[in-house]
Amino acid sequence: MAISSVLESEDKVDITPMIDVVFLLLIYFMFLPLQQEADIGIKLPSNTPPAENLELPSEHIVEIFPNGLILLNGAPMDSVDSRIMERLTTTLARLKQSSDRAGIDTVVKIQADPDSPHQRSIDVLNAAAKADISKVSFAAYAE
Protein backbone atom coordinates (compact mmCIF):
# COMPACT_ATOMS: atom_id res chain seq x y z
CA MET A 1 0.00 0.00 0.00
CA ALA A 2 2.82 2.37 0.55
CA ILE A 3 3.78 2.16 -3.13
CA SER A 4 0.27 3.06 -4.36
CA SER A 5 0.03 6.07 -2.04
CA VAL A 6 3.37 7.37 -3.35
CA LEU A 7 2.19 6.99 -6.97
CA GLU A 8 -1.07 8.79 -6.25
CA SER A 9 0.72 11.69 -4.56
CA GLU A 10 3.05 12.12 -7.56
CA ASP A 11 0.13 12.37 -9.98
CA LYS A 12 -1.40 15.33 -8.19
CA VAL A 13 0.24 18.64 -9.13
CA ASP A 14 -0.70 21.85 -7.36
CA ILE A 15 -1.14 24.55 -10.05
CA THR A 16 -2.17 27.35 -7.69
CA PRO A 17 1.27 29.05 -7.74
CA MET A 18 1.34 28.83 -11.54
CA ILE A 19 -2.09 30.50 -11.76
CA ASP A 20 -0.86 33.26 -9.44
CA VAL A 21 2.19 33.86 -11.67
CA VAL A 22 -0.01 33.94 -14.80
CA PHE A 23 -2.32 36.56 -13.22
CA LEU A 24 0.66 38.67 -12.18
CA LEU A 25 2.08 38.54 -15.71
CA LEU A 26 -1.31 39.38 -17.17
CA ILE A 27 -1.65 42.42 -14.94
CA TYR A 28 1.93 43.49 -15.72
CA PHE A 29 1.47 43.30 -19.48
CA MET A 30 -1.93 45.01 -19.33
CA PHE A 31 -0.52 48.10 -17.61
CA LEU A 32 2.87 48.20 -19.35
CA PRO A 33 1.60 49.89 -22.58
CA LEU A 34 -0.34 52.50 -20.60
CA GLN A 35 2.72 53.43 -18.61
CA GLN A 36 4.87 53.75 -21.74
CA GLU A 37 2.31 55.99 -23.47
CA ALA A 38 2.05 58.19 -20.40
CA ASP A 39 5.83 58.80 -20.44
CA ILE A 40 5.88 60.01 -24.07
CA GLY A 41 5.17 63.71 -24.48
CA ILE A 42 2.74 63.75 -27.40
CA LYS A 43 1.43 67.06 -28.65
CA LEU A 44 -1.53 66.95 -30.93
CA PRO A 45 -1.60 69.34 -33.89
CA SER A 46 -3.51 72.52 -33.35
CA ASN A 47 -5.75 74.39 -35.74
CA THR A 48 -3.10 76.90 -36.74
CA PRO A 49 -2.91 77.55 -40.48
CA PRO A 50 0.32 76.71 -42.30
CA ALA A 51 2.86 79.43 -42.92
CA GLU A 52 1.94 81.35 -46.06
CA ASN A 53 5.40 82.43 -47.20
CA LEU A 54 7.44 79.32 -46.69
CA GLU A 55 10.54 80.10 -48.73
CA LEU A 56 12.55 77.15 -49.92
CA PRO A 57 16.18 77.52 -50.95
CA SER A 58 16.95 77.97 -54.61
CA GLU A 59 18.64 74.66 -55.47
CA HIS A 60 20.83 74.29 -58.54
CA ILE A 61 22.18 70.93 -59.69
CA VAL A 62 25.67 70.62 -61.16
CA GLU A 63 26.30 67.31 -62.92
CA ILE A 64 29.84 66.12 -63.63
CA PHE A 65 30.35 63.41 -66.25
CA PRO A 66 33.30 61.02 -66.72
CA ASN A 67 34.61 62.97 -69.73
CA GLY A 68 34.74 66.18 -67.62
CA LEU A 69 31.56 67.74 -69.06
CA ILE A 70 29.71 69.91 -66.56
CA LEU A 71 26.00 70.70 -66.72
CA LEU A 72 24.32 73.34 -64.57
CA ASN A 73 20.59 72.61 -64.34
CA GLY A 74 20.91 70.63 -67.57
CA ALA A 75 22.78 73.33 -69.54
CA PRO A 76 26.40 72.69 -70.58
CA MET A 77 28.95 75.01 -69.06
CA ASP A 78 32.65 75.59 -69.85
CA SER A 79 34.75 73.33 -72.04
CA VAL A 80 35.98 69.99 -70.78
CA ASP A 81 39.56 71.19 -70.29
CA SER A 82 38.72 74.56 -68.68
CA ARG A 83 39.92 74.79 -65.08
CA ILE A 84 38.89 78.41 -64.42
CA MET A 85 35.20 77.78 -65.20
CA GLU A 86 34.37 81.41 -66.08
CA ARG A 87 30.92 80.67 -67.51
CA LEU A 88 29.93 78.53 -64.51
CA THR A 89 31.20 81.17 -62.09
CA THR A 90 29.30 84.04 -63.74
CA THR A 91 26.12 81.97 -64.08
CA LEU A 92 26.25 80.95 -60.41
CA ALA A 93 26.90 84.58 -59.41
CA ARG A 94 23.85 85.73 -61.40
CA LEU A 95 21.71 82.99 -59.86
CA LYS A 96 22.88 83.99 -56.38
CA GLN A 97 22.12 87.66 -57.01
CA SER A 98 18.59 86.87 -58.17
CA SER A 99 18.05 84.56 -55.18
CA ASP A 100 19.38 87.21 -52.81
CA ARG A 101 16.95 89.78 -54.24
CA ALA A 102 14.10 87.33 -53.61
CA GLY A 103 15.40 86.59 -50.12
CA ILE A 104 16.06 82.92 -50.88
CA ASP A 105 19.17 80.92 -50.01
CA THR A 106 21.15 79.57 -52.95
CA VAL A 107 22.12 75.90 -52.69
CA VAL A 108 24.35 74.06 -55.16
CA LYS A 109 24.10 70.28 -55.31
CA ILE A 110 26.96 68.50 -57.05
CA GLN A 111 26.19 65.14 -58.64
CA ALA A 112 29.49 63.70 -59.79
CA ASP A 113 29.70 60.45 -61.72
CA PRO A 114 31.87 57.95 -59.82
CA ASP A 115 34.18 57.75 -62.85
CA SER A 116 34.54 61.52 -63.24
CA PRO A 117 37.86 63.21 -62.42
CA HIS A 118 37.95 64.49 -58.86
CA GLN A 119 39.61 67.68 -60.07
CA ARG A 120 36.36 68.65 -61.82
CA SER A 121 34.53 68.54 -58.48
CA ILE A 122 37.20 70.81 -57.02
CA ASP A 123 36.82 73.16 -60.01
CA VAL A 124 33.07 73.36 -59.35
CA LEU A 125 33.70 74.05 -55.66
CA ASN A 126 36.11 76.84 -56.60
CA ALA A 127 33.53 78.33 -58.99
CA ALA A 128 30.90 78.26 -56.22
CA ALA A 129 33.33 79.96 -53.84
CA LYS A 130 34.08 82.69 -56.42
CA ALA A 131 30.32 83.21 -56.82
CA ASP A 132 30.08 83.61 -53.00
CA ILE A 133 27.89 80.50 -52.58
CA SER A 134 28.59 78.79 -49.28
CA LYS A 135 25.83 76.16 -49.28
CA VAL A 136 27.22 73.36 -51.43
CA SER A 137 26.46 69.67 -51.05
CA PHE A 138 27.24 66.44 -52.84
CA ALA A 139 24.53 64.02 -53.89
CA ALA A 140 24.51 60.51 -55.25
CA TYR A 141 24.82 60.44 -59.01
CA ALA A 142 21.47 59.78 -60.70
CA GLU A 143 22.01 57.43 -63.61
Query: What is the per-residue pLDDT for 52?
Result: 66
What lies within 8 Å, CB to CB, of 76 at 6+ separation is 69, 70
73 and 122 housed in the same domain: yes
Most confident of 27-31, 51-55, 124-128: 124-128
Give the mean pLDDT of 40-58. 66
Tally of domains in the chain = 2
26 and 80 housed in the same domain: no
Instruction: Report pTM.
Output: 0.60
Query: What is the per-residue pLDDT for 58?
Result: 82
Query: Domain containing 105 — which CATH number?
Result: 3.30.420.270
Give the mean pLDDT of 2-7. 56
Q: Domain range for residue 94?
A: 58-139
Q: What is the Rg, in whole angstroms, of the alpha carbon atoms belonging to the chain?
A: 35
75 and 26 housed in the same domain: no
Cβ–Cβ < 8 Å for 62, 70 = yes
Determine the Cα–Cα distance for residues 118 and 143; give it in Å rounded to an integer: 18
63 and 31 housed in the same domain: no
52 found inside a domain: no
| DSSP summary character for residue 83 | S
50 found inside a domain: no
Cβ–Cβ < 8 Å for 105, 58 = yes
Angle at 41 between CA 35 and CA 45, to 5 degrees: 130
The pLDDT tens digits of the residues spanning 104-119 come to 889 999 999 999 999 9
28 and 79 housed in the same domain: no
68 and 100 housed in the same domain: yes
> Among residues 83, 82, 61, 56, which one has the least CA distance to residue 138?
61
Q: Could you give the angle at which helices 118-130 and 86-102 cross, rounded to 10 degrees?
A: 50
